[in-house]
Amino acid sequence: MSEHILEVNNLAVSIPVPSGMLRPVQNISLHVDRGETLCIVGESGCGKSLTSLAIMDLLPQKAVRTADAIKLAGEELKDARERTMADVRGNRMSMIFQEPMTSLNPAYTVGTQLAEALRRHKPVSANEARDRAIYLLEKVGITAAASRLGQYPHQLSGGLRQRVMIAMALMCGPDLIIADEPTTALDVTIQAQILHLLAELQDEFDMGLILITHDLGVVARIADRVAVMYAGQFVENGTAEQVFGSPAHPYTRGLLDCIPIPGKTSPGERLGAIPGIVPSLVGHMPGCHFASRCPLVSNDCAQQSIPMRDGSGAGHVFRCLLDQKDTEAVSYKGAA
Amino acid sequence: MLVFAVKRFGVAVLVALTVSILSFSMMYLSGDPAIALAGEGSSQEDIENVRRVYGFDRPIIVQYGDWLWNALHGNLGHSNYLKSDVASVIFERLPTTMLLGACALGFALVLSIPLGVVAAIRPNSLIDRVALTIAVIGQAMPSFWFALTMILWFSITWRLLPITGTDSWKNFIMPSIALGYYVTPAVMRLTRAGMLEVLSSDYIRTARAKGLRPMTVLFKHALRNAIIPVVSLAAVQFGFMLGGSIVIETIFAINGLGFLAWESILRADLPMMQAIVLVLSVFYIFLTFFADMLNAFLDPRIRVA
**Using a CB-CB distance cutoff of 8 angstroms, which residues of chain B are in contact with residue A90?**
209-212
Kindly tell me if the per-residue pLDDT of A37 is higher than 90.
yes
- For B25-77, the DSSP string reads HHHHHTS-HHHHHH-TT--HHHHHHHHHHTTTTS-HHHHHHHHHHHHHTT---
Predicted pLDDT of residue B219: 94
Predicted pLDDT of residue B274: 87
Predicted pLDDT of residue A224: 93
Give residue-wise pLDDT tens across range B257-283.
989 998 988 888 888 888 998 998 998
Radius of gyration of chain B (CA): 24
- Distance from the Cα of A201 to chain B's closest Cα (Å) equals 19
Q: Quickly list H helices, chain B.
A: 2-29, 33-38, 44-53, 60-72, 86-121, 126-140, 143-150, 170-181, 184-199, 202-209, 214-215, 224-226, 228-251, 257-267, 270-298, 300-303
Asked which of A203-212, A238-247, A255-264, B69-78 is least confident by mean pLDDT, the reply is: A255-264
Predicted pLDDT of residue A336: 45
Average of per-residue pLDDT across B165-178: 89
Give residue-wise pLDDT tens across range A279-334.
888 988 888 999 888 888 888 888 888 889 887 778 899 999 988 888 887 777 76
Give residue-wise pLDDT tens across range A149-179.
999 999 999 999 999 999 999 999 999 999 9
Radius of gyration of chain A (CA): 21
The pLDDT confidence band at residue B240, using thresholds 50, 70 and 90, is: confident
* A140 close to A56: Cβ distance less than 8 angstroms: no
Optimal mutation site among A61, A88, A97, A103, interface B, most CBs of chain B within 10 A: A103
Fill in the amino acid letter for B267.
Answer: R
ipTM, interface predicted TM-score of the complex: 0.89
Predicted pLDDT of residue B190: 95
Tell me the residues of chain A between 79 and 98 that have a Cβ less than 8 Å away from chain B.
Answer: 82, 85-91, 94-95, 97
Which pTM was predicted? 0.85
Looking at per-residue pLDDT, the higher value among A44 and A160 belongs to: A160
The pLDDT confidence band at residue A2, using thresholds 50, 70 and 90, is: low
Report the share of chain B in percent with pLDDT over 90: 44
Report the share of chain A in percent with pLDDT over 90: 61
Asked which of A10-14, A44-48, A132-136, B24-28 is least confident by mean pLDDT, the reply is: B24-28
Kindly tell me if the per-residue pLDDT of A335 is higher than 60.
no
- Distance from the Cα of B299 to chain A's closest Cα (Å) equals 6
Predicted pLDDT of residue B305: 62
- Distance from the Cα of A132 to chain B's closest Cα (Å) equals 16
**Using a CB-CB distance cutoff of 8 angstroms, which residues of chain B are in contact with residue A121?**
211
